[in-house]
Structure 1
Amino acid sequence: MVLFTAADVRAIDQALIQDYGISGINLMKRAARACVLSIDQYFADVSRFLVYCGSGNNAGDGYLIAAMLADRGHHVDVVVVGEKKKLKADARQALALCEQSSARFCAVEVISEECLIVDALLGIGVVGPVRAEYRKVIQDINESAAAVLSVDLPSGLCADTGVSFGACVKATVSVTFIGQKRGLYCNDGPDVAGRICFSDLGAPASVYLQVNPAPVEILAEQWLPTRSRRGYKNQYGHILLVGGNQGMAGAIILAAEAALRSGAGLVSVATRAANIGPLLSRCPEVMAHAVASGDDLITLLEKSTSIVVGPGLGRDEWALELFSAILGSGKPMVVDADALNMLAVAPRYYEHWILTPHSKEAARLMGESEVDDDRFKVAEELQRRYGGVTVLKGLGSLVHGGEQLSLCPFGNPGMASAGMGDVLAGVIGSLIGQTSSLYQAACMGVVNHARAAEQLTGELGEVGLIASDLPIAIGRCLSGRDTS
């Protein structure tokens, strides 16, 4: 499954009309039928409907939905928000069809919890703050106890960024058309979209190639291939993890355990001498090395096949010297946490690394106080500036590899706790030695990190989930043994 921008969808819509002979009103009828099918599937017991229509093409879909439901004998009330005179030709035709049905046009002061609200207020064309008249209606919808079906996307949500334009309908189900919208899967989108249903409205595959958009792939579950019974540890990579400054042993221990549980054949850790005891107590399988300077890393770097640098690294002279030595190694690496902060101070380009910033670290890497709401643009810019692969962490984590851009739809709020990023860094570093590319390692690591969290919340709950719970579950997921 892939995601599209609003501009992509508009271009496909126009191509269907101009090049494939499918009229605008025909597309509206197909959209309305797709919504009615979802109503049949998820709200089969509902017989009262309240349809809110704005003044754009989204309203045309709403009018046709109202007419179709009324023709079935249902009680349908239609509330018009905005001015009918602003409707374009296709939407005016849809309005006329609705007026010919038994649907009743009215003003509603109290919303019955027994009805289903159909949200056809605002579509993908919204580009600024929601106007007061719409904001009041959206507030009334959200304060009601009624279920909501949003047409194409929840009104007030940016189709490209997933950011609310000041007010946004919170849907139970969203039925989206032609192309899955990026905004449904990031920022505010997942909180307001509810269950997402998709219809291509019968668009032929050729139209998508004709328009030639730059889609975003939604990552699916993925796991490592079954190992040969003759396999041995050197086949699965030797990962070197560097970090754990004074008082920050936990971060490097979490990363090391995650690397082990993700299938790395050999795991070495370079850290402060004080951390060796706690590290080996937790992970006796690790080869632990106390390092005092960059010179102490030379032999370790030569032996490694991949590096993770940053968890608990700090930003003192010790950290800077180790990071400088690693940058000169020429090895594939994962750069995380404080290593990203040091990179922001002295930016450079390198094709063989995976950067794993959250939004604050991304802002520092871009020399800004905060990042743009358009996370897709941020990920693209970071990859362009720094090379390699960028993993922009957060809701709907993005993986950008230059030619490829993917979004992870998995995960939950329980992951918003200390150490989760350290675990992810260890997983991705481990997978570098077990996959065919940095991009594949990043995608597989992000997906299984998030899937493990989903698996565990059924048992522990989101509030009780902590980073050290994840490594064993990640190993299960990577083995294809996710039983959630």
Structure 2
Amino acid sequence: MFASTFTADQIRAAEAPLLAAQEFDDQLMQSAAHAVAEIAATMLDNGRVLVLAGPGGNGGDGLYAGAELLLAGHRVEAHLPAGKAHERALKAFTAAGGNVLDELPEKEYGLVIDAMTGIGATGEPRDSLRPAIEFTNRSSAKVLAVDVPTGVEADTGTAAKSHIKADVTVTFGGWRRAHVLAPACGVQLLADIGLPGKRLYETLGDQIPEWAGDGPPLLLANRAVIPERFWPEDLYPLRQAPVLDIAPGAADDKYSGGVVGIRAGSDGYPGAAVLSVAGAVNATPAMVRYAGPQAAEVVRAHPEVVVTHTLEDAGRVQAWVFGPGAGTGDDAARELQWVLEQDVPVLVDADGLTLLTEHPDLRALVANREQPTVLTPHDGEFARLREVAGVGESDRMTETIALAQALQATVVRKGRATVIAHEDDPHSVYAVDAGNSWAATPGSGDVLSGVMGAHLALMHARSLGEEAALSGAVTVHAIAAQLAAATAFGDATAPASRIAEHIRPATAEAYHV
């Protein structure tokens, strides 16, 4: 259910035997170009196509694709920002009737194919490419990137200040890490290219060693919201993450299906309690217990919740959520200590993360727990935790792995691309591209804490795998944000309370996809 991603070096190593086995020059490149042309024709409603071609193999993919589109009757032009191109591909393009423009045009296009740089490009693009990047980003044309958008690093997903924002990115054989880590990729599509009887995907499997501490970390990727199908049958999108089956069994009751306890909210932030509880109530059928100063508000909003004012009176739970709006004073620190001392999974969010940043003794308690501890920082909270843990600054994936090791906890680094790293496995990491950014709104993280806490409790109750609980909760939350944004007139805002209301249909959609 999780899709493997590959580094640029792994892709090149897998391509090498195929390139050596080619029956004619550029056979593999033309296989890739056919996939580019296929999706380009699907994306093109009307108007001209502009191919922005670099001098390497990606530029060759773009130009061969342009030639195929020309032969199919489309109007295609090309521009070479570097002043040169793959010679055989350029010859094929011009032989098919393609026009090569010396300068960027002023006219509009229906589609721009970004084939300027390949998977080895890092850092800021060369100055010669920047006018084409700016032209593309201000254009009204749809944008199709080949392999990765220009200005996006394939191995890290890091986007340069100057980079192309693609509507669709088509890649070949296997996913690159950027396809899940970089929102600039847009919708990601995979073509299994190769030679007759020999496919690139088959050779890529040899590039992933059995994990014994060697090789680069394996990034496993998923997407939450899959767009309505518009692509050809032989192209594939990133798959959706697996989601826990929340249906109660015949022997289950309200106490056995994953009871979650929530300590959230304060007099200053009463809404955090209501939102976190709402996420949990809508996530699974089991009981939700609330302990804290907003007990009256919580039970008024959700009468099915069992509420108390103190943690000690909450009763038995199978996971705890601590942090949203809970405060950062001494009393809150003592409460977090109590929660961390319980022999159940614990999720720490928001104010709880601030407390961990400020209290070394609480971090030590996290490191010594036997039950799972899940920390859910956004990038700002992550930076503060990284600093106190002594983790160096790098790309999002590498940092997240390092912080999980330093704190001896599972780290769920939230964002458009959520990265999940576990303290007991530095050689594999998970990422989920939400597929939308509607959850970037106040309180949505509180809702996610409740959803994920309920999933952790269900995991603990049924002795299930932690990964489905975490990536599945992220997926459900992202789908709920998309559903919450939908109106009869198109997408609009998705307030956190509305996201919480859509957790139930999102769960059904994710599980039955």
Q: Shorter-chain TM-score: what band?
A: 0.7 to 0.9
Q: Aligned match of 2:481 in 453, 467, 473?
A: 453
Measured in 1, the distance between the counterparts of 2:405 and 2:29 equals 39
CA positional deviation for 1:99: 5.1
Matches within 5 A, 1:237-316: 237-263=258-284, 265-272=286-293, 275-291=294-310, 297-298=311-312, 300=314, 303-316=316-329
Measured in 2, the distance between the counterparts of 1:463 and 1:77 equals 37
Q: Describe the superposition over 1:58-78 as per-residue Cα deviations: whole angstroms up to 9, x where unpaired.
A: 122223223333444554433
C-alpha change, 1:411 and 1:130, in structure 2 (3 Å) is closer
C-alpha change, 1:416 and 1:112, in structure 2 (3 Å) is same
Aligned to 2:33: 32
The question of 1:476 aligning with 2:505 is answered: yes
Two-structure CA RMSD over aligned residues (Å)? 3.0
Q: Secondary structure at the match of 1:413?
A: coil
Aligned to 2:237: none
C-alpha change, 1:109 and 1:225, in structure 2 (3 Å) is closer
Measured in 1, the distance between the counterparts of 2:492 and 2:137 equals 26
Measured in 2, the distance between the counterparts of 1:63 and 1:438 equals 46
TM-score, length-normalised on structure 1?
0.86
Q: 1:335 touches 1:353 (CA, 8 Å); kept in 2?
A: yes
Aligned to 2:255: 234
Q: Secondary structure at the match of 2:156?
A: coil
Measured in 2, the distance between the counterparts of 1:251 and 1:147 equals 40
C-alpha change, 1:424 and 1:146, in structure 2 (3 Å) is closer
The question of 1:212 aligning with 2:208 is answered: yes
Matches within 5 A, 1:78-477: 78-84=78-84, 91-98=86-93, 100-114=95-109, 116-186=111-181, 189-190=182-183, 192-202=184-194, 203-212=199-208, 214-219=218-223, 220=240, 222-263=243-284, 265-272=286-293, 275-291=294-310, 297-298=311-312, 300=314, 303-345=316-358, 346=360, 347-348=363-364, 349=367, 350=369, 352-367=372-387, 372=393, 374-401=395-422, 402-403=424-425, 404-410=428-434, 412-435=436-459, 436-459=464-487, 464-477=493-506
CA positional deviation for 1:101: 4.4
Q: 36-45 vs 253-262, which deviates more?
A: 36-45
C-alpha change, 1:6 and 1:165, in structure 2 (3 Å) is same
Runs of 5+ unmatched residues, structure 2: 210-217, 224-239
Q: Secondary structure at the match of 1:446?
A: helix
Q: Secondary structure at the match of 1:397?
A: strand
Measured in 2, the distance between the counterparts of 1:74 and 1:267 equals 59
Number of equivalences = 466
Measured in 1, the distance between the counterparts of 2:504 and 2:96 equals 58
Measured in 1, the distance between the counterparts of 2:100 and 2:185 equals 27
Q: Secondary structure at the match of 1:417?
A: coil
Q: 2:45 touches 2:110 (CA, 8 Å); kept in 1?
A: no
TM-score, length-normalised on structure 2?
0.82
Q: Describe the superposition over 1:321-366 as per-residue Cα deviations: whole angstroms up to 9, x where unpaired.
A: 1111222223211111111122223233245111111111111111
Q: Describe the superposition over 1:284-335 as per-residue Cα deviations: whole angstroms up to 9, x where unpaired.
A: 22222223xxxxx44646x222111112121111101111122222321111
Q: Describe the superposition over 1:141-167 as per-residue Cα deviations: whole angstroms up to 9, x where unpaired.
A: 333333333222222222233333232
Aligned to 1:294: none
C-alpha change, 1:149 and 1:481, in structure 2 (3 Å) is closer
C-alpha change, 1:72 and 1:313, in structure 2 (3 Å) is closer
Q: Describe the superposition over 1:226-285 as per-residue Cα deviations: whole angstroms up to 9, x where unpaired.
A: 33355311111222212323322221222122222222522222213xx23222212222
Q: Describe the superposition over 1:431-459 as per-residue Cα deviations: whole angstroms up to 9, x where unpaired.
A: 12223133222122111111111111113
Instruction: State the identity as a percent.
Output: 28
Q: 1:52 touches 1:118 (CA, 8 Å); kept in 2?
A: yes
CA positional deviation for 1:103: 2.6
